[in-house]
Amino acid sequence: MWKERLDDLHLPKLLEFPNGTPVQSAGDWEKRRKEILDLLCREEYGQCLDPPEKVSAVVKKEDDQACAGKVLQQSILLSMEIQGKPFSFPLQVFVPKKVANPMTIVYLAFRPDAPDRYLPLEEITDEGFAVVTFCYQDIAADRDDDFTGGLAGILKKEGGRPAEDTGKLMMWAFAASCVLDYLETRADIDLRNVGVMGHSRLGKTALVAAAYDQRFAFCFPNDSGCSGDAITRGKEGERIKQITDHFPYWFCPNYSQYAGREGQMPFDQHFLVAAIAPRYVCAGTAVDDTWSDPMSQYLSYTAADEVYRFLGKEGFVHPDRMPKAGDTFQEGTIGFHLRSGTHFHSRYDWQQYMEFMKKHRIRGRKTNGMERLKWIEH
């Protein structure tokens, strides 16, 4: 069963400081959480970026009759200054007109198209959700370009990449936070209920964005797998060697040292999931997505559950067994579904995520203290 499988992995402990002292209070957890995020910066994703002083937006095009007159569509250019240099990227906003202040999903997209095969736009807005989407390639190219273009070009260091250099997953996550900076200036969405979502490598990015930016109340990683939400120790399919051989630019150079040495890592991917606590995370995967390894993904959420329960949340409510195709667990702060099929972001996945968000919608005033982190030091 899952408990035995988890015990056999001998995972690094979440609720314990490096010197062996146990985490005993919510204040202790905040200290431990910062240690965890700093560790993930140093060893996996690279340095996180401080927010820009100002994010400005220009509406380039607007259509208040989109989707048969049901949706306000805006094409926006976001601009900011990063390390003294200008940077901008396009953004698309879709707000359903039938709902006042709708819940909103920031969607990291593979393509600029909307709708797209991964983005059933009209179905989403018909459910009463706003969608704010950008193409990750407009932030930093998803190829080994020696960090010469886009945000990567601005951040490029002279003399090669240092060991903790910012990887592109972190850059794409940074852009999602810049989108949220902009959304906080709008009065037509519910800022208490903003989620971040992505598929595959962008599912990994969604997890990073939510872990480092507490303003995201919900996180929806779809098929994020290796170096996302799947436990690396004992994992089937893709592991650190394969992912760093093919995509070294996603990570900091330090990460490749753990290829074939996963058992020596002072962390695993349950650290990333737990860093989102006590906020909501709901993951989806597919039974035939063996490269991602859905069982290792499931184990990550069972491992992170102890932090949620320590903080007084319901955590991961699931049966005492490993999952099977068709399972959907949505009662707790952690959600999870396993569908039939392969690696894909389907309408079924969207339906599960929207149902979870509606089930757990945050009421009342926006929570104090949920803000973008600026404290990471190296």
Cis peptide before 52 (omega within 30 of 0): no
198 near 107, Cβ under 8 Å? Answer: yes
Lowest mean pLDDT among 116-120, 229-233, 299-303, 367-371: 367-371
Give the model's pLDDT for residue 364: 74
Give the model's pLDDT for residue 46: 98
Distance CA(237)–CA(231), nearest Å, equals 12
Facing residues of 66 across strands? 71
Give the model's pLDDT for residue 372: 60
283-335 tens-digit pLDDT: 999 999 999 999 999 999 999 999 999 999 999 999 999 999 999 999 999 99
Distance CA(14)–CA(267), nearest Å, equals 9
Distance CA(306)–CA(315), nearest Å, equals 7
Give the model's pLDDT for residue 368: 44
Is the predicted pLDDT of residue 177 greater than 60, yes or no? yes
Q: Is 93 helix (H, G, I), strand (E, B) or coil?
A: strand
Give the model's pLDDT for residue 1: 78
Distance CA(290)–CA(39), nearest Å, equals 28
Query: Which pTM does this prediction carry?
Result: 0.96
CB atoms < 10 A from the CB of 278, how many? 16
356-372 tens-digit pLDDT: 999 999 987 554 445 66
154 near 82, Cβ under 8 Å? Answer: yes
254-281 tens-digit pLDDT: 999 999 999 999 999 999 999 999 999 9
326 near 284, Cβ under 8 Å? Answer: no
Give the model's pLDDT for residue 147: 96
Task: Summarize the confidence of residues 196-220 as an average pLDDT.
Answer: 98
Is the predicted pLDDT of residue 375 greater than 50, yes or no? no
Give the model's pLDDT for residue 154: 97
Which amino acid, residue 108?
Answer: L
Among residues 222, 215, 263, the alpha carbon closest in space to that of 369 is found at 215
46-100 tens-digit pLDDT: 999 999 989 999 999 999 999 999 999 999 999 999 999 999 999 999 999 999 9
- The per-residue pLDDT of the chain, averaged, comes to 95
Task: Summarize the confidence of residues 142-159 as an average pLDDT.
Answer: 95
